[in-house]
Amino acid sequence: MRPFHTFAMSFSSHPPLDLTDTAHPAGIEPETRGLYQSEPLTERPSHETFVDDLWAALLEYVGTTIFLLLAFGGVQATQGEANASTSFSEIERVMYISLCFGFGLVVSAWLFYRVTGGLFNPAVSLALLITGIIGPVRFVLYCIAQLLGSVTAAAIVLALSPGPLASK
């Protein structure tokens, strides 16, 4: 039986990376090349990058809404079950809420990671701004999208569930 890495490489249309080669193709310096490209990067107009930032912020809004909709829905379901039953222990309740938050984050990150990075939290966005991973425009758009997504998710859960929102 063939090892997995050779089996997986047989389906790839790209040759394997040669990490030992230090020469730059056609005299292009590494700073001007794309990650997987050998041609120089071209500067894009600022309006194109702003449109990309808007699109990413819209998807960050949708991802944050889905994440918190699943999480807040789980909290509401747990609270409703705790009110209706006396056999529901506190450990079961905490585990169920943790599972809802974890499952919501996994689903949202899996769906939106490639486009937005799957941040869903202004604190994470701030950390990426400080480290220089995202720019200030994308940071502001992400924070607005994340806050609006959280409010939207809470409003949907409030509209779909009877009684007040569970907050403890």
> Which amino acid, 132?
G
Has residue 96 got a pLDDT over 50?
yes
User: Could you tell me the pLDDT band of residue 95, with boundaries at 50, 70 and 90?
Assistant: very high
* Tokens 């990650």 sit on residue: 35
Residue 152 to residues 33, 75, 78, Cα–Cα distance (Å): 41, 16, 20
What pTM was computed for the model? 0.70
Phi, psi of 26 (to 5 degrees): 55, 30
Q: What is the DSSP letter of 22?
A: -
Which residues does 68 contact at the CB level (< 8 Å), separation at least 6? Answer: 104, 149, 150, 153, 154
User: Could you tell me the pLDDT band of residue 5, with boundaries at 50, 70 and 90?
Assistant: very low
Q: Are 165 and 158 in contact (CB under 8 A)?
A: yes
